Amino acid sequence: MDYKAVMPILGFDDVTQLRLVPIDDIFYRLENREKDGAPSFTLIRPEALRSDYIFDLPQSAAEALGLEKAEEAMVLNIMIVDTPLENSHVNFVAPLVFNTKNGKMAQVVLDATRHPDYGVAEPISKFLSTQKSAS
């Protein structure tokens, strides 16, 4: 689905027209629809790694996104992919929020004092070992 960035991805203010492409049930690719297609981001569903990922969306972001119901929102996080996959990192501090109804998206930077357990570059191996020990 195509999206318009109403609150841009940090460092990419001029990237406003994006396409979200599912890779599977967990991973997505976010592609720039303008110019040469760069940059492109790999995204992950946060619930695939952690069940405790909960935050209140700031009212200004909800308004910019035109969200009327929570069900209209999909939250994904930017992932820095490495080899092996366990060496990859996820940004939990600045999630991307998509309004699946109207095609708007925004990157929201969470308040670190309210969410001290969310890091900018958390290794996914930290969550994989937690999931294995919980099994």
DSSP string, the chain: -EEEEEEPPTT-TT--EEEEEESSSSEEEEEE-STT---EEEEE-GGGT-TT---PPPHHHHHHHT--SGGGEEEEEEEE--SSGGG-EE--SS-EEEETTTTEEEE----TTT-TT--SSEETHHHHHHHHHH-
pLDDT the model gives residue 86: 87
pLDDT in tens, 98-124: 999 999 999 999 998 999 999 999 999
Q: What is the pTM of this model?
A: 0.90
Query: Using a CB cutoff of 8 Å and minimum separation of 24, what contacts does 16-19 make?
Result: 18/105
Tell me the pLDDT band of 27, cut-offs 50, 70 and 90. Answer: very high
Judged against a pLDDT cut of 70, whether residue 23 lies above it is answered with: yes
Closest by CA position to 92, among listed 20, 129, 44, 133: 44
- DSSP-derived pairing of the beta strands 104-107 and 89-90: unpaired
Is the pLDDT at 90 greater than 70, yes or no? yes
Residue 96, pLDDT > 60, answer yes
Model confidence pLDDT, tens digit, residues 45-56: 999 999 999 999
CATH topology of domain 2-134: BH3618-like (2.30.290)
From the CB of residue 14, how many other CB atoms can be counted at a distance below 10 Å? 9
User: From CA 15, how far away is CA 64, in angstroms rounded?
Assistant: 17
* pLDDT over 70 (residue 132): no
